[in-house]
């Protein structure tokens, strides 16, 4: 049988226990005040005494204890009242007595500084590349969320809820620490509750290391490929290139990439309405306070502003005409198809087929889970216009689309 714990000398046992206590404090007391550096002292002592061997180990212990004591004195002022600190001070005094250590004498040399970071280190990573920084910190890529607003408008929230809204005027889609997005809606027809987005304002808030504050504003027939100040990036700061704007289709589709917050935004125009889609890092999407509670992308439309929606299966020829138009671009009868039918029947505007199709295409690109792309709901309460009026308006709109292209 090997030696039992009882054969260990009292000094060795006490020293071992103290090291274990230091390790415990180091591992489980990281909540100590950020200004008190006692955990750094603990770590230095543990590193200096963990593998001591040979006949000079007592002298080495004394050197380590003197170095430990010196470290605690340096941080004494900021550690007053800290339990971890006072436990370390008393432990040092006890061990100094047991090992007959003098207070004067050589101390352990400080631990060597870690080598300078190479090109793969976090310091050398572009802090304005959110995805790379997140991967370095957490060992895995970030998770993303998707939100969209299009058509009447219909809102798909970050949590995959789907609402049709009667919101008229200006409403915030997003309001967090990094982004503010506001949609302004107008009635699509007289004596109708249906509305459509006619103006979008997007504010990329100032981020000291990366970008100046930038504002993007789009209105009907004015979908610029630049920010309000005429620039196409985040400004003169070192990370300015982490915010860019690109025109995908002139006057119809603009894409804004904000790499510094892991976010991509698409703004589209179809007919007389604007649509908005976003793919945002989950951490960014959730960076808001209780006061910023009204965000359509987070909570959807307020209950008082929601409209019952139906795919209009059993409402006559007008609905069937709308269904045929929507079916051409939206073969799956999900909420995008239902929204398309609802909008065409309500407004008589065939361009709403393009709005729903564009929103679905954005979702294919932006939604992190392909299995959740399609949402299926049952609604009620579709409002109709007369078939002759619908046919006249739809025919004129189709001719306008053909002439445009």
Task: Write out pLDDT tens, residues 282-331.
Answer: 999 999 998 888 999 999 999 988 887 653 443 577 789 999 999 999 99
**Is 131 a residue whose pLDDT tops 60?**
yes
Q: How many domains does the chain have?
A: 2
Same domain, 164 and 301: yes
Regarding whether 149 and 91 lie in a shared domain, the answer is no
- Residue after which a domain boundary falls, among 283, 305, 327: 305
The domain boundary residue, chosen from 286, 305, 324: 305
Of 84-88, 236-240, 340-344, the poorest mean pLDDT is in: 84-88
pLDDT digits (tens, 9 = 90+) for 382-405: 443 333 434 444 444 444 445 444
Domain assignment of residue 14, yes or no: no
Residues 251-280 pLDDT 10s? 999 999 999 999 999 999 998 999 999 999
For tokens 């802090």, what's the residue?
A: 127
Look up the CATH number of the domain holding residue 165.
3.40.1000.10
In a domain? residue 190: yes
Residue 186 lies in a domain: yes
The CA-CA-CA angle for residues 62, 63, 64, to 5°, reads 90
Q: Do residues 226 and 300 both lie within one domain?
A: yes
Is there a single domain that holds both residue 178 and residue 290? yes
Instruction: Tell me which of 272, 305, 338 is where a domain ends.
Output: 305
Supply the pLDDT for residue 365.
Answer: 97
Number of neighbours of residue 110 by Cβ within 10 angstroms:
10
| Residue 212 confidence (pLDDT) above 60 | yes
Residues 6+ apart with CB under 8 A from 128: 207, 209, 210, 211, 238, 239, 242, 259, 260
Q: Which domain holds residue 154?
A: 144-305
- Is the residue at 223 inside a domain? yes
Q: Do residues 153 and 294 both lie within one domain?
A: yes
Whose CA is closest to 126, among 243, 232, 264?
243
Do 94 and 148 belong together in one domain? no
Q: Specify if 82 maps to a domain.
A: yes
């Amino acid at each position: 049988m090997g030696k039992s714990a009882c054969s260990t000398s009292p000094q060795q046992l006490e020293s071992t226990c103290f090291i274990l206590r230091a390790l415990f404090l180091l591992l489980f007391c990281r909540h100590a005040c950020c200004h008190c550096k006692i955990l750094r002292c603990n770590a230095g002592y543990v590193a200096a005494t963990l593998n001591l061997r040979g006949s000079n180990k007592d002298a080495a212990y004394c050197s380590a204890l003197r170095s430990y004591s010196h470290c605690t004195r340096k941080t004494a002022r900021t550690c007053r009242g800290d339990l971890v600190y006072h436990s370390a001070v008393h432990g040092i005094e006890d061990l100094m007595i047991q090992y007959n250590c003098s207070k004067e004498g050589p101390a352990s040399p400080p631990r060597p500084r870690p080598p300078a970071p190479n090109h793969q280190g976090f310091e050398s990573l572009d802090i304005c590349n959110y995805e790379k920084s997140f991967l370095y910190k957490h060992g895995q890529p970030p998770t993303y969320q998707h939100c969209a607003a299009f058509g009447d408008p219909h809102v798909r929230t970050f949590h995959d809820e789907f609402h049709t809204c009667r919101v008229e005027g200006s409403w915030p889609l997003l309001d967090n620490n990094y982004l503010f997005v506001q949609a302004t809606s107008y009635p699509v027809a007289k004596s109708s509750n249906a509305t459509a987005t006619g103006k979008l304002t997007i504010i990329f808030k100032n981020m000291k290391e990366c970008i100046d504050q930038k504002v993007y504003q789009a209105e009907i027939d004015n979908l610029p490929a630049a920010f309000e100040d005429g620039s196409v990036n985040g400004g003169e700061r070192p990370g300015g290139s982490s915010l860019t704007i690109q025109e995908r289709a002139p006057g119809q589709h603009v894409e804004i990439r904000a790499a510094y917050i892991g976010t991509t935004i698409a703004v589209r125009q179809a007919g007389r309405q604007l649509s908005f889609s976003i793919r945002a890092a989950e951490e960014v999407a959730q960076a808001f306070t209780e006061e910023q509670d009204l965000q359509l992308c987070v909570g959807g439309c307020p209950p008082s502003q929601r409209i019952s929606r139906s795919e209009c299966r059993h409402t006559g020829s007008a609905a069937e005409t709308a269904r045929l138009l929507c079916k051409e671009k939206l073969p799956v009868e999900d909420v995008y198809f239902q929204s398309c039918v609802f909008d065409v029947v309500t407004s008589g505007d065939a361009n709403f087929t393009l709005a729903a199709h564009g929103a679905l295409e954005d979702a294919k690109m932006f939604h992190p889970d392909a299995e959740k792309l399609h949402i299926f709901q049952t609604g009620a309460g579709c409002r109709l216009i007369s078939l002759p009026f619908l046919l006249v308006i739809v025919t004129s709109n189709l001719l306008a689309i053909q002439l445009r292209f």
